[in-house]
Amino acid sequence: MTETISSESRLKVYPSMDELPQEEQALIQAAQASALRAYAKYSQFQVGAALRLEDGKIITGNNQENACYPAGLCAERVAFFAAKSQYPELAIKAVAVVAKRAEDEIFRAASPCGSCRQVMSEYENNQEDPIQLYMMDAEGKIYESASIENLLPFKFSEASLGNT
Ligand code: THU
């Protein structure tokens, strides 16, 4: 006998940024500004991430590429590692992720890669509140995930190690 278990990711979709509270709009704008500073020499794909800490500080990051391709790092991990290396005691409330091709004017839909979900999940597991995640598509619609866990079903975590 087999059974099927399933997990569903749910995203709330806002027709435009104007529908969001001011502080989330500011977060997305910070992510956009950061994307424009990306070092994306090889892919020409600029990604920006901006996260808000519990005290209101905004920390940004963008993708940093390398001639030795795998040595580069995604925008989300640059931002999360920057935040946690400077403010390890402050919880992360929300993160916005945006992307664009260097030759384009407009931002396009981009969802965090699996490795970045894993890294964000690690920090979410160590704080009380979930981390809200915002993404934007080419039409300017905003996608809100209530947590990182929502984007990482059947996750691997500290608990999986069996030593907690
Ligand atoms: N990239 C990110 O910065 N974040 C992601 O979640 C996916 C991909 C970067 C890595 C690389 O510099 C470029 O986008 C193309 O994959």
pLDDT tens digits, 82-122: 999 999 999 999 999 999 999 999 999 889 999 999 999 99
| Structure confidence at residue 163 as a pLDDT band (50, 70, 90) | confident
CB of 46 within 6 A of ligand 1: the answer is no
CA–centroid distance, residue 106 to ligand 1 (Å): 17
Whether the per-residue pLDDT at 61 is higher than 90: the answer is: yes
Whether the per-residue pLDDT at 81 is higher than 80: the answer is: yes
Query: What average pLDDT does the chain have?
Result: 97
What per-residue confidence (pLDDT) applies to 109? 85
Of 8, 19, 23, 76, which residue is the catalytic one?
76
Secondary element (H or E) of residue 122: helix 114-125
3-state helix, strand, coil in the chain (%, to 5): 30, 25, 45
| Structure confidence at residue 157 as a pLDDT band (50, 70, 90) | very high
Residue nearest to ligand 1 atom 4, measured at CA: 74
List, for residues 9-54, the tens digit of each pLDDT value.
999 999 999 999 999 999 999 999 999 999 999 999 999 999 999 9
Ligand 1 atom, smallest distance to 64 CA: 12
What per-residue confidence (pLDDT) applies to 164? 63
Mark whether 76 is an active-site residue: yes
What is the Rg, in whole angstroms, of the alpha carbon atoms belonging to the chain?
16
CA separation for the pair 47, 56 (Å, rounded):
22
Which residue segments constitute the domains of the chain, with CATH numbers given? Answer: 11-152 (3.40.140.10)
Q: What is the mean pLDDT of residues 60-83?
A: 98
Secondary structure of residue 70 in the 3-state scheme: helix
Residue nearest to ligand 1 atom 3, measured at CA: 74
CA separation for the pair 162, 75 (Å, rounded):
31
